[in-house]
Amino acid sequence: MDRILEVVIAKYNYWIYIVLMMIGLYGVIAKNNLVKKIVGMSIFQTAIILFFISMGMKKGATIPIIIHGQEASVMASDYINPLPHVLMLTAIVVAVSTLGVALALAVKIHKEFDTLEEDEILEKIRKS
Amino acid sequence: MGTEVNSILPLLAVMVSAAVVPILASSRSANVREAWTFVAAFGKVGIVLAMLPHVLRGDKLSFEIAPVFPGVSLAFRVDAMGELFALVSSFLWIVTSAYSIGYMRGLKEHGQTRYYSYFALAMSSTMGVAFSANLLTLYVFYELLSFATYPLVTHHQDEEGRSAGRRYLTYIVGGSIGLVLPAMLVCYGSSQTLDFTPGGILANSGLSRFELGLLLFMFVFGFAKAAIMPFHSWLPAAMVAPTPVSALLHAVAVVKVGVFSILRVLVGIMGFELLSGQALGGILILVASVTIVGASLVALCQDGLKKMLAYSTVGQLSYIVLGASLLSENGLSGGLIHIATHAFGKITLFFCAGAIYVATGKQNISELNGIGRRMPLTMASFLIASMSIIGVPPTAGFLSKWLLITASVDSGRLEGLFVLLLSSLLSAGYLIPVVYRAFFLPQPEGEPTSVVAEWRSPCSIAAMVTSFGCLLMFLSPGLLLGLARKAAELYLGV
Amino acid sequence: MTSHLPALVVTVPLLTAFAAFAAGWLRPKLCFPVGLTGLGITAISSIWLLAEVLEAGTVTYELGRWPAPWGIVYVVDRLNGVVLAAISLCAFIQWISSRASVKSQFSDRIGAFYGLELLFVTGVMGITVTGDAFNLYVLLEIASITAYALIAMGGGRAPLSSLNYVFMGTIGACFYLLGVGYLYIMTGSLNMADLASILQGMRSSQAILVAFVIIIVGVWLKMGFFPLHGWLPNAYTHAPWPATTLIAPLMTKVMAYVMMRLVLFLFGPEYSFGVLGLKDVVVWWASLAVVAGSVIALSQKDLKRMITCIILIEIAYMVGGTFLGNRSGTTGAIFHLVNDVFMTLCVFLAVSSLAFRQRELDMDTMEGLFSEMPFTMGALVTGALSIVGVPPTCGFFSKWLLLKGALEAGHYEFMVALILSSLVCLVLFFRVFEAAYFGHGERSHGHHRMREAPLGMVVPLLVVAIGIVALGLMSGEVISSIIEPALPRGVL
């Protein structure tokens, strides 16, 4: 029991991301309303973004901005890893674009079927 | 044993009919179209004949199309076996083309351009099989033949055609993809080549008797065009095709491709030595015998003339397999010669059946009373061809039967002898009654008694030509025997 | 100029996309020629690049002159060289062929549609040429998002099918991203070659194992590998024809390339095939997927849906072939990838031509099609024979290699699955051909005037059909000079 608690507390960030991911996945799979599914998908993507960001973190480090003129005395362990942040800028763009497309599709679906509940839409399709 | 000469002739022989197809397909005039068919047919025979002297000397003309896998390429090699088969089928194409004109025009059939085009493609594929240097090339042309003949079998585009076509494809393509392809792979896997080699390629493969037997079965039944029972039922079903199709393809090209492929596998891939060493000949004799006797018995019960001839073909094809399974020189020669003699005999019978249909519309044996008086020359051809199928002199069929009987006795396989004699009797049983009815029974009341103008009918003339061929082959068998001997020499080292 | 070829194959379609968008506003008539030029240049560049690779070996291109492993590099070796050539040719031919169809359906949004198509091509080209794991994710999403939009442009059920594709596709890509994240934590690198060498020393790490599994599952989701295929039939069926003919031959095959790249080069054959004995399980599962795909395809009544479901079978071949773990199997899988691009293109173009001329693609209205549209049907027959695996079409030769690989590896169930699915495909296509060939009564003998699709649709189609046969006859060359040397040394 102690060992498990140790592991959970030591790596609490990873556990948070896993929980977020599962919430997101649950939303996509289990929810009926299309917008809720989209929200779930967005949560899933965001959890992964957070995961990446946390991997750049270092104990006692500061933001990775170097003051002009002090490049020679830079020690890597003083600055958090900027690479994951940069990668995630791109990933955020991707997530936002996907979100935009998904919402646009939801609007179109609503225009066509007058509802955003998946079971009702499937019912309408089956009837036609 | 003769040199291997690089030559483009095999490729030309195969391509000459394929090349004609665009011309056929776009011809406005039916006569131009037919003329081009003849050009291609004569061209093909000419090229095949041009290769004959080389083959008789023992040289092999070869041509590589494309290397595809390490150790295997798409290639042609013309040897005595292939040349014999090619000669028979290309010559008979000329005759069949003449016959087709009479038949298709006489019945005012639709889709004649499509018919002639696919016929030409089918002949290309047949030549391709005859001249294949290895099992892969043979497989390629075997498959092409299956698909090229589908539109011919289903020509009438009616319900019967649909179900016949389905059965055709199921047995033939199902057999080739389902059985032959894996078997080929196993052979390639064991020996890194698929070339037809004297003595076969599996001698050092380390395959057990069981595995070799399994391979043998996969090949024999996989090449479903050979119509070995129980994979034979596509053949009677395919009789819904127009008679020239039944005649050339299902008496000569398609079915002979089937047995030819089996022969190639037996001599060139597995090898007689390996087969006799593993005592696999006996099983093959059994399979062939069952088909021979079974098919002949079914033929006895048929009323439809073409159906009866179809079952007769099933039985006769297995003569060839039986000959090869005796695993001897005479057996192989007998089988090879039977390819030629049966082809001429059976095609004559089909020609006669079609001629009768065009002239009188009759299809059943029971309706044929007295037809000999109206179509004497046609029925005389029928008689000669029947004698050839039964195997009595002075017809060609006697030649092959004699060789097969000798081979059976020599190898001590008296069951083979028994089967051959029994099937001769059965053949007589289903063929002679037709002749009897035609000549010796009076016509039914109320039927026209005028003599049909046979000399003006290409159908009857074609039948007469091929029946003459049956007689000719008996009287002057030199070429046939020469080719068969050469083939045996090549593959059995005799 | 030629030293920039690896970058050109991505930037040219990208810039052309914007040119097409602009042309859509200013002069819509220019959209088609602009795209045609761009795709033509891309195709020529890819083929040139392949020739360079064959002559001089792997080509590396550092973007912005940042050296690896800090910068993003584009690496072209024989494997992605041949895939690049195949997909750019495919896109070029499809562009020409779909002109009439696009004009009739999207004339009011032509700039948008063509721009999206070009962006999609950018994405797939980029996925193939990149040598950086994260860059692959970015380009993957470019391709996917444009695909979502293209699919949704068909009316009716298309937006819903696309939305389902959005959900599943995003989850798949996110799995991939998560796996890359794991790899980054463990190795500190994102460059594929660098990762490969670092990972060699980390075989026993659990994090790497998890990364491997997550990445592969994500890629499988994007590929449509059973049972992660749920999005595929609906998305491709409801999409408008010009979109389907572009996306269907390319998207799943490029993802299959990604899987091969990861399994063979990034993680390496020893790891991928040795870890957890996964190799045999995957082949068994692939055999199941082949059978499942065949059953699904058999139960379809609509022609477009049927050919879409055949993609499931082809993808399963590639997964199984890769995980057989021997030279024949892997060679077969790679060759099958190249072949499948063209086979799928041929079949989809042919059916789209049929759909263009006939309003309904119902089995009842297909009578007499052989006389009405002989060239289209001829090409469809060629494509069908290639899918079944009849020589001398290319499909036979890749199937032969897959069968040989299965035989050598002792995976008889995969052999059985391959042969069974070939026969099922034969049945599938002959149902269609029978409907077109046989009639009911008088109609079948009536003389049908030839009413072919427009030349712009038929000519590219015939080129592809002839190409399928030519590729088959040249398979010896292709395999020995391009594919065999492309395999890493660890594959026995």
- Is B246 inside any structural domain? no
Write the CB contacts of B32 (distance below 8 Å, at least 6 apart in sequence).
Answer: none
| DSSP annotation of A68 | T
Q: If phi over 0 gives left and psi between -120 and 50 gives alpha, with beta otherwise, what is residue C400?
A: alpha
Report the residue of chain B nearest C436, measured CA to CA: B157
Count the Cβ atoms, other than its own, within 10 Å of residue B213. Answer: 17
| pLDDT at residue B445 tops 80 | no
CA of C426 vs chain A CAs: smallest distance (Å): 31
- Is B327 inside any structural domain? yes
Question: What pLDDT digit, counting tens, does each position of B93-115 carry?
Answer: 888 888 888 888 877 777 778 88
Instruction: Give Dmax (Cα) for chain B.
Output: 71
Interface contact C64, partner A, CB < 8 A = no
pLDDT at site B30: 77
Asked if C181 lies within 8 A of A48 by C-beta distance, the reply is yes
pLDDT at site C439: 58
Q: State how far the Cα of B436 lies from the Cα of B191, in Å rounded to an integer.
A: 55
Buried b (16+ CB within 10 A) or exposed e, A81-103: bebbeebbeebeebbebbbebbe
Which partners does chain B have (≥3 C-beta pairs < 8 Å)? C
Q: State how far the Cα of B336 lies from the Cα of B489, in Å rounded to an integer.
A: 13
User: Pick from B70, B143, B169: which is nearest to C391 by CB?
Assistant: B143
Between helices C5-26 and C110-129, what is the axis angle to 10°? 170
Mean local confidence (pLDDT), B312-316: 90
pLDDT at site C443: 44
Q: List C residues 83-102 in contact with B (Cβ-Cβ < 8 A).
A: none
CA dihedral sign of residues B308, B312, B313, B315:
positive
Provide the number of CB pairs (under 8 Å) joining chain B to chain C.
Answer: 75
Six-digit token string for B200: 């076969």
- Is B301 inside any structural domain? yes
User: Pick from B166, B174, B185: which is nearest to C403 by CB?
Assistant: B185
Question: What pLDDT digit, counting tens, does each position of A14-54 carry?
Answer: 889 999 999 999 999 999 999 999 999 999 999 999 999 99
Asked if B181 lies within 8 A of C403 by C-beta distance, the reply is yes
pLDDT at site A45: 95
Asked if the peptide bond before residue C6 counts as cis, ω within 30 degrees of 0, the response is: no
CA of A60 vs chain C CAs: smallest distance (Å): 19
What DSSP line would sit under C353-381, residue for residue? HHHHHSS---GGGGTTHHHHSHHHHHHHH
Between helices C412-437 and C394-409, what is the axis angle to 10°? 160
Q: State how far the Cα of C302 lies from the Cα of C305, in Å rounded to an integer.
A: 5
- Is B245 inside any structural domain? no
Q: How many domains does chain B have?
A: 1
Question: Are the CB atoms for C158 and C217 separated by under 8 Å?
Answer: no
> Alpha helices of A1-128 — where are they, by DSSP H?
2-10, 12-30, 34-55, 82-113, 118-127
Six-digit token string for C133: 């794991």
Lookup result for tokens 């030549």: B127
| pLDDT at residue B287 tops 70 | yes
Interface contact C438, partner B, CB < 8 A = yes
Q: Measured between beta carbons, which residues in chain B are less than 8 angstroms from residue C477?
A: 67
Question: What is each CA distance from C234 to C167, C284, C304, C313, C423, in whole angstroms?
Answer: 13, 26, 10, 16, 25
Indicate the pLDDT class of residue C401, thresholds 50, 70 and 90.
very high
Report the residue of chain B nearest C415, measured CA to CA: B182
Q: Measured between beta carbons, which residues in chain C are less than 8 angstroms from residue A25?
A: 171
Question: Are the CB atoms for C412 and C406 separated by under 8 Å?
Answer: yes
Asked if C166 lies within 8 A of A105 by C-beta distance, the reply is yes
Question: 3-state secondary structure string, B208-265?
Answer: CHHHHHHHHHHHHHHCHHHCCCCCCCHHHHHHHCCHHHHHHHHHHHHHHHHHHHHHHH
Mutate to test the interface with B, among C400, C419, C420 (most CBs of B within 10 A): C400
Which range marks the domain in which residue B304 is found?
280-494
Q: Closest Cα partner for C153 from C221, C91, C222, C246? A: C246
| pLDDT at residue B270 tops 90 | no
pLDDT at site C314: 95
Q: Do chains B and A touch (3 or more CB pairs under 8 A)?
A: no
Q: State how far the Cα of B227 lies from the Cα of B234, in Å rounded to an integer.
A: 8
pLDDT at site C364: 67
Q: Measured between beta carbons, which residues in chain C are less than 8 angstroms from residue B70?
A: 480
Indicate the pLDDT class of residue C441, thresholds 50, 70 and 90.
very low
- Is B379 inside any structural domain? yes
Question: Are the CB atoms for B129 and B141 separated by under 8 Å?
Answer: yes
CA of A105 vs chain C CAs: smallest distance (Å): 6
Q: State how far the Cα of C351 lies from the Cα of A97, in Å rounded to an integer.
A: 33
Interface contact C404, partner B, CB < 8 A = yes
pLDDT at site B493: 65
Amino acid symbol at C128: T
Question: Are the CB atoms for B368 and B356 separated by under 8 Å?
Answer: yes
Q: State how far the Cα of C156 lies from the Cα of A125, in Å rounded to an integer.
A: 10
Q: Which of A3-12, B395-404, C238-247 has the lowest average pLDDT?
A: A3-12
Strand ranges, E, within C382-444: none
User: Pick from A52, A84, A109: which is nearest to C160 by CB?
Assistant: A109
More confident residue, C279 or C315: C315
Mean local confidence (pLDDT), B69-92: 87
Three-class SS of residue C74?
Answer: strand
Which segment, B158-167, C260-269, C276-285, is predicted with the most confidence on average? C260-269
Q: Measured between beta carbons, which residues in chain A are less than 8 angstroms from residue C134?
A: 87, 90
| pLDDT at residue B1 tops 60 | no
Report the residue of chain C nearest B136, measured CA to CA: C391
Question: What pLDDT digit, counting tens, does each position of C130-158 carry?
Answer: 999 999 999 999 999 999 999 999 888 89
Indicate the pLDDT class of residue C363, thresholds 50, 70 and 90.
low
Asked if C403 lies within 8 A of B182 by C-beta distance, the reply is yes
Q: Which of A97-101, B240-244, C17-21 has the lowest average pLDDT?
A: B240-244
Interface contact C277, partner A, CB < 8 A = no
Mean local confidence (pLDDT), C362-372: 73
Six-digit token string for B121: 């493609």
Report the residue of chain A nearest C154, measured CA to CA: A108
- Is B88 inside any structural domain? no
Q: What is the number of alpha carbons within 13 Å of residue C276 lying toward its C-beta?
A: 12
Tell how strand C73-76 and strand C59-62 pair up.
Answer: antiparallel
- Is B288 inside any structural domain? yes
Three-class SS of residue C147?
Answer: helix
pLDDT at site B494: 53
Question: What pLDDT digit, counting tens, does each position of C231-257 carry?
Answer: 999 999 999 999 999 999 999 999 999
φ and ψ of B65, to 5 deg: -85, -55
Domains of chain A: residue spans and CATH: 2-59+79-127 (1.10.287.3510)
Write the CB contacts of B458 (distance below 8 Å, at least 6 apart in sequence).
Answer: B98, B99, B101, B102, B103
Interface contact C157, partner A, CB < 8 A = yes
- Is B237 inside any structural domain? no
Mutate to test the interface with C, among B142, B181, B188 (most CBs of C within 10 A): B181
User: Pick from C392, C404, C476: which is nearest to B185 by CB?
Assistant: C404
Report the residue of chain B nearest C390, measured CA to CA: B143
Q: Measured between beta carbons, which residues in chain B are less than 8 angstroms from residue C476?
A: 66-69, 73
Three-class SS of residue A15?
Answer: helix
More confident residue, B330 or C123: C123
Q: State how far the Cα of B120 lies from the Cα of B102, in Å rounded to an integer.
A: 17
Q: State how far the Cα of C92 lies from the Cα of C464, in Å rounded to an integer.
A: 11
| pLDDT at residue C360 tops 70 | no
pLDDT at site B65: 82
Write the CB contacts of C213 (distance below 8 Å, at least 6 apart in sequence).
Answer: C179
Q: Is the ipTM of this complex over 0.95?
A: no
Asked if the peptide bond before residue A64 counts as cis, ω within 30 degrees of 0, the response is: no
